[in-house]
Structure 1
Amino acid sequence: MTESTDDGWPDKYGDPRDRPHPDVLRLTVETFEEMREDTLDAVEAISEGEEQPAVVSFRTVGELRKILTERRIELLRVLMATEGAAESISALAEELDRDYRTVHDDVSLLAEYGLLFIVEDGQSKRPYLPYERIHLDVELVGGPSSEEHAPA
């Protein structure tokens, strides 16, 4: 069994700072079938030499809103302003003027969903955001509720 790091990536992938990342992280709300089609299109585009954004998809607008709160958006903005890395979660909490535990919980949740990475440097855990921009791609259509699954 492969050991996993706190950011959910198996150790065999190594330090996320050593891997190439696109400039843009794209957050979407879409069905499984749409995610599948987008993935197949991206694989084809990459095989033709085109750079593609990193994509994290959510099944509902409600799920996206639950994860992407104002405080977590602020956290992501601070990381982007510091070239994607903070010295530690403690330093990030201090920069945000927030309690360490809540920042740690937010960093852990964002890493769990693939919005950032956690790099272990000895005793310190450093949040790492390799993207220059985060693009929200949410399509709203008429229907019974915004909490419904993404349009098919």
Structure 2
Amino acid sequence: MDTTGDTDDTADRTLHVRFREGDDEKLEETLAALDRGETPEPHLEVVYHDPADVHRVTRPKSLELLRAIVQHKPASIRETARLVDRDVSQVHRNLTELEELHLINLVDDGHAKRPDVWYTAIDIDLPLVTPVVDSDEATA
């Protein structure tokens, strides 16, 4: 997944956040399309294996920052802090965490770092049951 560079083309792109398992079916479809010489639709996905990471994504302060970035496209961390009316050092810490979670890029832009996203919505898949593993697969 390319998550670098300018992303003015973020209209109607959804980032899929999954807990534990990725969407293998979508990956297989994408690989098959590439084999046929087709250009598949981008599928943006982040998979977390720790429920605390999913929680960090959905915290109100995280969502507030993500919304401000998508809606206003701030040119710096300082401008982002002004948009959400918070201290720059707190916003910097939160944006660094969002970058570690692969939800934003902090792009060097002159003397400032510009928060950048490549999607306009987040779809969270959080299964409440553990998938049953076939005993034949478990021993393979």
**TM-score in same-fold range (> 0.5):** yes
Q: Please tell me the residue identity of whatever aligns with 1:44.
A: L
After TM superposition, the structure 1 = structure 2 runs for residues 38-117 of structure 1, keeping only pairs within 5 Å, are 38=25, 40-41=27-28, 43-44=30-31, 46-47=33-34, 48-82=38-72, 85-117=73-105
In structure 2, relative to structure 1, the CA distance for the partners of 1:79 and 1:46 (3 Å cut) is farther
* Cα root mean square deviation, aligned: 2.8
Q: Provide the rounded CA distance (Å) in 1 between the counterparts of 2:58 and 2:105.
A: 16
Superposition deviation, residue 151 in structure 1: 3.9
Q: Say if 1:97 and 1:46 are closer, same or farther in 2 by CA, change over 3 A.
A: farther
Secondary structure of the 1:134 match is strand
Aligned residues: 127
TM-score by length of 1: 0.69
AA in 2 matched with 1:37: D
Percent of aligned positions with the same letter in both sequences? 27
> What 5-or-longer segments of structure 2 have no aligned partner?
133-140
Q: Distance in 1 between matches of 2:67 and 2:74?
A: 12
In the superposition, the TM-score normalised over structure 2's length comes to 0.75
